[in-house]
Amino acid sequence: MENKRVNFTYIDILRIFSMFSVVGLHTVADNLRFYRLTTNWHFANIVTSLLSIAVPVFFMISGALILSSPKAASLKYTYKKRLTKILVPFLVWSLLAILYYFLIGYFFYGKKVNFEPTIYRLTHLLGQPVTIHLWFVYALVPLYILSPILKVLVDNMSEKTAKYALFIWFFFSSVMLTVARLVDPEIKETVMLSYNYNLDFMDGYIGYFILGYYLHNTKRKFSCDILLTVIVICYTLIFGGTWIYQNMCTDYFEGFKVYSGTFILVMSVAVFLFVKQLCENHEFKRGTLARIKFFSSVSYMVYLVHNLLIHYMSINEWIVIENIFNTVLRFVIVCAVSVILTVLLGSTKATSYVFTGVDYKTACKTFNLQYLFGRKEK
């Protein structure tokens, strides 16, 4: 069991990186849109040019873990264990977000009761996230639903066929769309395929899901120097390209940082493999593994709650992000409060699973107060 945990340590590290990266992206989002080409904007561009791989890495992690598990083919396990683990806290935090926005609307805008936005959010919950960052769950749930089918597919697919499938996804869902985003609008249609080609089945995040499984299980070794070079080149193109296009556009240009973009995709793969190989060649101490496990375990709830904290700080004008120091300070505070809240909610049987997606017994072994103070669950 201990060796198995060490083999998956790189997954935990990537999850921690992605968790903090998502918080960072949402913390500096306003800098990119409202402080055009200022010091704040350049700082945000520098940061987000790397952090934008967070969501692709999250999807790759999910694919690596789920499709590598023998239980992935079980419909019962998928719906009873996996889906409920993400849907229960998602629904709870969605309802809390609806209540939060109702209270904000009442106390911050003239203390007038207006049920229309609340009713709209409730009636559209099935197809529209209550708050923008929750879109990720709407994209992840279909992959969980498809995972039993995908499991059978990848288990019976040769390496050559897997590479072919990934190439189709890479070329049609990334390369061609990236070219279309960057070329002059007048010639955009000449580089786009007709929708009649109907390659939607290999579109979107399903490619990242399968790619994560493939990279997790590949035995091929890559030079860390080459991977680091690829990361630096992609980062430079994303950062520099965004800067150049921003000088030509009046609105913020996000074409280099979209999750399906070629540069983001290639950098995500390089970072995934780089961290994987570093961890394979490194022996972690027990205390380090415990800290890695702790932060990895709180990642999902941190994702669910952090944007509400950012919003609340914004409307109250707490630590206005008018400079780099304040931006970093807000990021640190949001991360700290999100983690502390996760620990507290994971410390009682009544709140652990419904708020964090982790049952109380597991929380006692990973992140709650019982775990932190060394008291073992009987």
What is the predicted pLDDT for the residue at 247? 83
pLDDT beneath 50: ranges in the chain: 1-6, 376-378
Span 152-186, pLDDT tens digits: 999 999 989 999 999 989 988 888 888 888 876 66
- For the chain, give every domain's residue range: 1-30+286-372
Q: Are 220 and 273 in contact (CB under 8 A)?
A: no
Task: List the structure tokens of 115.
Answer: 């049920």
What is the predicted pLDDT for the residue at 377? 45
Task: List the structure tokens of 235.
Answer: 């980062």
Task: List the structure tokens of 106.
Answer: 């009442």
The helix/strand count (H/E) of the chain reads as 19, 0
Which ranges of the chain would DSSP assign to H, the alpha helix?
2-7, 9-34, 39-51, 54-67, 75-77, 84-108, 116-123, 135-155, 159-170, 176-182, 206-217, 224-248, 262-280, 286-297, 299-315, 324-345, 352-356, 360-363, 369-372
pTM of this prediction?
0.90
